[in-house]
Chain A
């Protein structure tokens, strides 16, 4: 399958068990980026999903990294067989036109508009402040559900499309009279690619160096991706088992607090996610407390 920016679509539909979850797009040859809320708040562990490309090809994927606080998630598509996609990432500039090449279905409109502010600090519903773009949208759809996780590209006609970021949230319209808010604003927020790359430890430079062949000898730790199963080694297995045990203990404690009424359901869920993220999804398992 050939997928390249400017050619066939590099955006995907993500589904699980035949149920559509949301949009995403290939960020690298083996990673699909999406908004975490597309996967559902109950993603507490590594889960399998289906990734459907614009061509109709469906490939198995697995949730690789989650950052619910920043509303971002990475899905590993290990069997894609796709080489580097070579999309041209870029920084957006204020006043620049943007477009979204993805739409949830043929009956949906394509989105476009102008970058109103970048970079802006934006506090996600998950609680973290991220580097984002504030986007003014020309198409006043009222509700932009279904577009989350899709790519935001440059919309200029100056040759070559550029990837700016990932659409994550619609700014809600507030009603001061009754204190309510609903998704009726034409202001959208997208995480910048810089934020995405900073957010996931698999893009961390220390990790990348470890992947390189030159790190295989000497004191450097062995590569963890593309270089074999990290669970295969005896000591690595012990480390991971120890962390699973630690995570189980923490989750058990949280459940206990919930039963005693110390924490509400929502807080418990968020804390469990943190535990999963810290103890089970991190590459640096050996260095975490």
Chain B
């Protein structure tokens, strides 16, 4: 742990203990520091919890951002924790996403996986998705198996109880409470009696006990549960502070329990106190976590319900409609939420009925205008809406440009015949007379009174709309080799999300990115043309979202997150994606028919070591250049180095044959071998007019195998080969072994695909050098265009670009 990071942790600990000064200092210490790179992962997780506790949730999330190299369970653990914190802040959408990614990153059979599944089950239940909660719960129970984790057991038992309660499953509730009791005991034993999490666990158990007792109508058991809830609420508030969400939640549970029991037993004074306390808890909860937080909304709803319940216990005084009276007493936030939910549910229902080219309209009336929303689906099934606004002045429709609805806005009959809204949303404001005239009569089109703008509710409903067409990722797939032996390539779709998938769902997919042009690899989400008569694979792909980035070639584990219908976020790439500038047709044309696989190459370097160190160094340098260039091409390459000199023909001079310094080695090994040739000891009696070129060629021919790759023979030197017999014309002594260089060259030349290159001394001699340089030739002391030289030998190929991710 760095000194700075250590100071941050200690300051955060002091701030959590209640030091306001340290909280200020902490903010200064955190300013500008990159928490991702600081501290060990476990220390950062600890710091994140402290920061979250202090309300510094953004910094907490930054501390939990996985650093480079943190993959697998370690990264998953961070995301799981981040999900827990997000859930605590009421950001269920983000929590789902984080848990989903954590789940994708963690392996089977680990306790972490069981924890994540348990968290997903609990989160689903919190979000009111009982069926999903039940499914996650089953998976979590399976994953737990023999893995014993007390915290997970508590969470699973709580979730099990919640599901049973929602389903009015009394035996299930009993079973779950028994399991929760056992798990809570273990939890308290594990953490000790003074740990806040122990307190929270006991409070949850007491709340579950109360629910069960209330369902069983056992007053005595309800009293016992309330007594425990009371102490737990006090202890949590004393330890964590009275505005801590856990303390407030426990207090809320206590108040609700007390209210219910008081109402059931007709103790109205006690009910009034409990209702009043619930109002107080609701206010504090809203102040502590924000009004939009699910906990605050629930507390407001409970407080509102408490007022209603209390009223139920009293006879109405006079001619006041009790229902109306109740509504007036419900806090505005709760009323607004109830109306919002009603409208959102109605919108979701209409969206569910929306298929093909059909449309529906909904209308909003407020104090100064009417808004007509026409909702339809695009070709991908994504809901879209168009809005028309009509302003009213002095109660009368203001004249504007005529459009398809303007006439209908002035005539109620025409309005309901042409606009034909499924329902109308009106604000509580006083409506202009022109709009009041448009309001329907009883039992006609439903009218909802709502404070939240219809546009916001519609956007929210569209965001939560399940997919009607499956989403796929456009990928290149290899198809089996044809008669030429090369694999074909096709652009197709890899399924990501099936129809019915919802916001927050995720999918994992492994892809490989190849070399690309400057525009990068395209990550396109596509749907298939809905033509039931055609086989699925034959249906045309239609781009929904096309993004691109220059991604380094390699394999990537992608996570696709459905952020809303029509939008998918990809994670797992080292660079961010941006919108692609190229058309879909153009991108289709970029897909190669087949992949040009580079055949392996065996570059054999024959180097003459005669002529002194300067000359030898020049030869070595040229060969190094060539090997480096061949390596950079990226194809499979093997390199051999054979050094040869002159035959030892003088008295007592040893005749050393050509020597293999490297064979079928890597480029780097070959370069090292070449450098080892320098500073060789030269025998002054060495023959000066020829070199063992013919023997070197013979050695190559004998050693070459097809398995090492297509041969490329590059020779550097200048002396002629020893002839197989005395060459009187050039006055050259023959090879002691009578090897015929011409014959050896001819036999090599017959090998399929072989190429010859030569880097010749300025004063080279012998016809064979022309032959050895027949595909590429250069001179050691001249500037060599090594790219052209390599291209001549087939050592440099134009790189094939792959515009889409490739999938096996």
Contacts and interface: CB of A to CB of B under 8 A. Distances in A.
Interface of A: 2, 4, 27-30, 83-91, 93-95, 118-119, 160, 162, 192-194, 196-198, 203-206, 208-209, 211-215, 217-218, 220, 223, 225-227
Given A94-B19, A206-B188, 12 more contacts: A28-B227, A83-B258, A83-B273, A89-B237, A95-B20, A162-B242, A197-B234, A203-B231, A205-B202, A214-B209, A217-B178, A226-B223
A183 to B, nearest CB: 28
A211 to B, nearest CB: 5
How many B residues are at the interface, by size bracket?
A: 35 or more
Contacts of A29: 227, 230
Interface string B699-735: 0000000000000000000000000000000000000
A208 B178 contact: no
Given A197-B231, A208-B232, A212-B181, A89 B242 contact: yes
A209 B202 contact: yes
Interface stretch (B193-201, B594-602, B647-655): B193-201
Contacts of A95: 20
B763 to A, nearest CB: 94
A213 B225 contact: yes
5 contacts: A83-B262, A84-B226, A86-B274, A93-B20, A203-B235
B199 A205 contact: yes
A194 B177 contact: no
B190 to A, nearest CB: 12
B206 A212 contact: yes
A215 B224 CA distance: 11
Given A83-B267, A223-B224, A90 B237 contact: yes
B178 to A, nearest CB: 6
Contact of B227 (A86, A94, A225): A225
Nearest to A208: B228
A205 B233 CA distance: 12
B205 interface: yes
B308 interface: no
A205 B191 CA distance: 11
B270 interface: yes
Contacts of A208: 202, 206, 228, 231-232
B274 to A, nearest CB: 7
B238 A89 contact: yes
Interface string B161-188: 0000000000000000110110011001
Centre residue among A91, A193, A208, A218 by max chain B CB count within 10 A: A208
A90 B247 CA distance: 10
Contact of B238 (A28, A90, A209, A227): A90
Nearest to B257: A84
Interface string B260-290: 0010000101100110010010001000000
* Most A C-beta atoms less than 10 A away, residue of B17, B198, B202, B227: B227
Contacts of A220: 181, 185
Main secondary structure of the interface of A (DSSP, over half): loop
Contacts of B208: 214
Interface in B14-55: 17-20
Contacts of A227: 224
A118 B181 contact: no
B209 A213 contact: yes
Contacts of A27: 234
A91 B18 contact: yes
Contacts of A217: 178
Contact of A213 (B221, B258, B270): B221
A213 B251 contact: no
Given A28-B231, A86-B277, A206-B188, A213 B213 contact: yes
A179 B231 CA distance: 44
B254 interface: yes
A206 B232 CA distance: 12
Contacts of B185: 206, 209, 220
Given A4-B273, A86-B251, A94-B18, A215 B234 contact: no
B238 A193 contact: yes
Nearest to B262: A83
Nearest to A207: B193
A88 B251 contact: yes
Contacts of B18: 91, 93-94, 118
A205 B234 contact: no
Given A88-B251, A223-B224, A2 B269 contact: yes
Given A83-B267, A86-B251, A193 B228 contact: no
Given A84-B230, A86-B251, A206-B193, A213 B218 contact: yes
Contacts of B223: 226
B188 A205 contact: yes
Nearest to A30: B227
Contacts of A213: 209, 212-213, 218, 221, 224-225
A80 to B, nearest CB: 12
Contacts of A162: 242
B467 to A, nearest CB: 43
A31 B541 CA distance: 73
B273 A214 contact: no
A85 B284 CA distance: 18
B393 interface: no
Nearest to B234: A89
B616 interface: no
B255 interface: yes
Nearest to A223: B224
B193 A205 contact: yes
Given A83-B262, A86-B273, A90-B238, A209 B181 contact: yes
B227 A90 contact: no
Nearest to B229: A84
B162 to A, nearest CB: 15
A241 to B, nearest CB: 27
A112 to B, nearest CB: 20
B239 A91 contact: yes
B428 to A, nearest CB: 28
A223 B234 CA distance: 21
Contact of A212 (B199, B225, B240): B225
Given A29-B230, A94-B18, A205-B188, A214 B238 contact: no
B572 interface: no
Contacts of A211: 224, 227-228
A87 B121 CA distance: 34
A70 to B, nearest CB: 15
A156 to B, nearest CB: 12
B258 A90 contact: no
B286 to A, nearest CB: 13
Contacts of A218: 178
A259 to B, nearest CB: 41
Contacts of B284: 160
B277 to A, nearest CB: 5
Contacts of B212: 213-214
Nearest to B198: A205
A214 B177 contact: yes
A123 B715 CA distance: 94
Contacts of B634: none
Nearest to B189: A206
Contacts of B241: 90-91
A119 B213 CA distance: 39
Contacts of A91: 18, 238-242
Nearest to A92: B18
B238 to A, nearest CB: 4
A223 B287 CA distance: 38
A216 to B, nearest CB: 8
Nearest to B235: A197
Contacts of B177: 214
A84 B258 contact: yes
A160 B243 CA distance: 12
From A91, A119, A160, A198, residue with most partner B Cβ within 10 Å:
A91
A209 B188 CA distance: 10
A173 to B, nearest CB: 28
B231 A212 contact: no
A206 to B, nearest CB: 6
